[in-house]
Structure 1
Amino acid sequence: MKLQQLRFLNAVVRNNLNVSSAANELYTSQPGVSHQIKLLEEELDIEIFERAGKKLTGITSAGYAVLEHVDELLANVKNIKQAAEEYSKFHRGSLSIATTHTQAKYVLPKIFHQFAKMYPNIELQIHLGNPREMCKLAASNQVDFVIATEGLDNFGEIQTIPCYKWNRYIIVPKQHSLAAKKSVTLADLAAFPILTYTMGICNQSIMQKAFKEEHLAPNVVLTATDSDVIKTYVELGIGVGIIGEMACTKLTREQFSLIYAQHLFKDSVNMIGFRQSRHIPEHQVAFINLLAPQLSKDIIKEVISTKDRASRDSKINSYPVKSFSNYYS
């Protein structure tokens, strides 16, 4: 059994049993991947995949049992590498983040700037996507951290630490009728087409609950993961935008009329998440500390090492999360 075979196996599963896509991801040939997987099956004396001719159509019961250990083994291989990097002469390593456009553009630059001064030899990588895509990357150990507000609770293997709480601004053109109102209500919002984030009006979201409690049905005409896309379409008069306060820069305030929506929607909490079983090197503990400064490095290490979720959450919740403006403005 070779480590390469296990990596091939893992890649095929992550690519929905598409051997060609797995080969492209691994910069190797499709026949080579197929051959190595077949050799692994022969060595283990089982069939990992169900087949229709040469095509992989499913995973066998034995395959699922094997894959559970493969995922853990590959995670531990990465842990070993990261542990060794901490003690290497030049302290080289990497930090890979899966996050949204809003976080990458409006929150992380200041954090990365501080981090780069502390660890100049660490390579930084940013992967953009929606919360579900990002959580999958973290759960499968393809990235070190996921930074998002929604979706992390749906992945039991991801451990989360709260970073900051934030709310929303309603943005409209300067001459819009809402700009002249002293107080905007949810009913006022529901009367206009709404532009907001992908998953912003999804089941169980804070915004969806707020409208539902008032027996209102919001007319969401556009969703996007990119705050700047929402701003562009608001400027065109397509509708009323609802975006995170992080994305409301000085330029945004000059371009639009902004209405703070904390009286309409509860605060959201931005989280940093990572696979529970993975090793967190010292430089990544420092990164968490920059994002969640209410927690000292020692507390972060204690939280990471606590296996029981209830005990871990109790420890985290004893350090209140402050608002975005207190930390990042």
Structure 2
Amino acid sequence: MNLHQFRFVQEAVRRNLNLTEAAKALHTSQPGVSKAILELEDELGIDIFARHGKRIKRLTEPGREVVRCIDIILREVQNLKRIGQEYAAQDSGTLSIATTHTQARYVLPAPVARLRQTYPKVTVSLHQGAPDQVARWVLEDVADIGIATESLTQYPDLVTLPCYDWQHTLVLPPGHALLALERITLEDLAAYPLVTYHPTFTGRTRIDQAFAQRGLNPQIVLEAIDSDVIKTYVRLGMGVGIVAEMAVQGDERSADLVARPAGHLFGRNVARVAFKRGAYLRQFVLRFAEFLSDRLSRDLILRTMEGGGHDYQL
């Protein structure tokens, strides 16, 4: 048995048992993948996959155990590579960060700049997407660290820690009728068209839950994944915007937008950092996490990765 066979099995599972797609991802041929898997099954004396003719249909019971072991083996192989990279060049390499658009635009610039000042030979690679994409990128070793508000805690193979908390903010054009109210309610908001995030982004779940609990059906006329896009459509008069508070930092002097805190309407949200369980974390990855939040420390992260940490309260 060899690592090539292990990678073929792992990629076949990742690609929903589609060997053609697995072969494309691994830059090889489909017959080669199929042959390697059959040879591994012969050597182990079990069927990893149940087949109908030549087509793979599902994982067998022993196959699930084989895949679990393969995942561990390949994870440790990746760890060996990272250890070698770190000790060969301790102050250089690439930090791959998976995150959402809002985090990349409003939260990460300062810590990324601090990292580059501390490790000038480190290159930063940003991968932006939905929270579930962020999770998958970390799990598939595309990224060293993931940062998002939703989804990360739903994956048992991710180790997550709270990074910072935040609230939503209303953005309105000057002179809007709601600005005359001392305290805006959900009922007040529901009377106007709203512009906010796509349902899978930036705390949208809390927004929907807040309205639902009051039996209200808000008029959401536009959904977007980017806070700047939301603010643009508010400026055009499309409706009242609901964005993350970090998206209005620096807008205090804006002549065409007025911001109002909405934590009393939608509660607080927690952004989390995620690492792949069992992964070896290079020193600059740990340092970057410390730059993200003074609540995160190298020791806390390592204890949590080893199973001895606790999910502290913000």
Superposition TM-score, scaled by structure 1 size? 0.85
Counterpart AA for 1:264? L
1:69 deviation in Å?
A: 1.0
Match of 2:277 in 1: 276
In structure 2, do the counterparts of structure 1 residues 38 and 91 end up closer, same or farther at CA, with 3 Å as the change threshold?
farther
In the alignment, which residue of structure 1 is the partner of 2:310?
312
Distance 1:169 1:137 in 2: 29
Bigger mean CA offset, 196-205 vs 206-215: 196-205
Shift of 1:251: 5.2
Is the 1:162–1:292 Cα contact (8 Å) retained in structure 2?
no
CA RMSD of aligned residues (A): 2.6
**1:124 corresponds to which letter in structure 2?**
V
> Residue in 1 aligned with 2:218?
218
Aligned to 2:113: 113
Q: 1:13 to 1:96 in 2, by over 3 A?
A: same
Q: Structure 1: which amino acid aligns with 2:262?
A: A
Q: Deviations over 1:123-161 (max 9, x none)?
A: 322222211222233234442221011112211222112
1:127-166 paired onto structure 2 within 5 Å: 127-166=127-166
Alignment of 1:170-209 (within 5 A): 170-199=170-199, 205-209=205-209
Q: Distance in 2 between matches of 1:165 and 1:151?
A: 16
Matched-pair contact (CA < 8 Å) for 1:139–1:155: no
Contact persistence 1:15–1:22 (CA under 8 A): yes
The answer to whether the 8 A contact 1:85-1:91 is kept is no
Query: Unpaired segments of 5 or more residues in structure 1?
Result: 322-329
Report the secondary structure of 2:87's partner residue: coil
Gap change, CA 1:23 and 1:122, over 3 Å in 2: farther
Q: Distance in 2 between matches of 1:124 and 1:12?
A: 30
- CA deviations on 1:272-301 (whole Å, 9 max, x unpaired) are 011221122221111111112133433433
Query: Following the alignment from structure 2 to structure 1, what is the Cα–Cα distance between the partners of residues 234 and 28?
Result: 45
Aligned-partner Cα distance in 2 for 1:2–1:95: 29
Q: Does residue 1:293 correspond to 2:294, yes or no?
A: yes
CA distance in 2, matches of 1:219, 1:284: 42
Write the distance in 1 (CA, Å) between the matches of 2:42 and 2:224. Answer: 47
Shift of 1:303: 3.6
Where does residue 325 of structure 1 map in the other structure? none
**Identity across matched positions, percent:** 39
State the partner residue of 1:80: 80
Aligned equivalents of 1:274, 1:164: Cα separation in 2? 16
1:162 offset after TM fit, Å?
Answer: 1.6
Tell me if the contact between 1:200 and 1:208 (Cα under 8 Å) persists in the aligned partners: no
Q: In the alignment, is residue 264 of structure 1 matched against residue 262 of structure 2? A: no
Residues 221 and 9 (structure 1 numbering): CA distance in 2 closer, same or farther, change over 3 Å? farther
Deviation at 1:249, TM superposition (A): 4.3
Give the conservation status (yes or no) of the 8 Å contact 1:147–1:271: yes
1:175 positional shift: 4.5
Q: Which residue in the other structure is 1:45 paired with?
A: 45
Contact 2:8 2:37 in 1 (8 A): yes
Q: CA offset at residue 164 of structure 1?
A: 1.2
Q: Aligned with 1:106: secondary structure?
A: helix
Question: 1:264 is paired with a residue of what secondary structure?
Answer: helix
Q: How many residues matched?
A: 313
Q: Distance in 2 between matches of 1:73 and 1:31?
A: 24
d(CA) in 2 for partners of 1:251, 1:21: 46
> Residue by residue, what CA displacement relative to the aligned partner does 1:94-146 show, whole Å, maximum 9, x if unpaired?
32221101111111122111112222333322222211222233234442221
**Shift, 1:5, TM fit:** 1.7
TM-score, structure 2 normalization? 0.88
**What is the CA distance between 1:77 and its match in structure 2?**
1.2
Secondary structure of residue in 2 paired with 1:263:
helix
For residue 57 of structure 1, report the CA deviation from its aligned partner.
Answer: 2.7
What is aligned with 2:235?
235
Contact residue 130 and residue 201 of structure 2 kept, 8 A: no
Following the alignment from structure 1 to structure 2, what is the Cα–Cα distance between the partners of residues 264 and 157?
Answer: 33
**Partner residue in 2 for 1:36:** 36
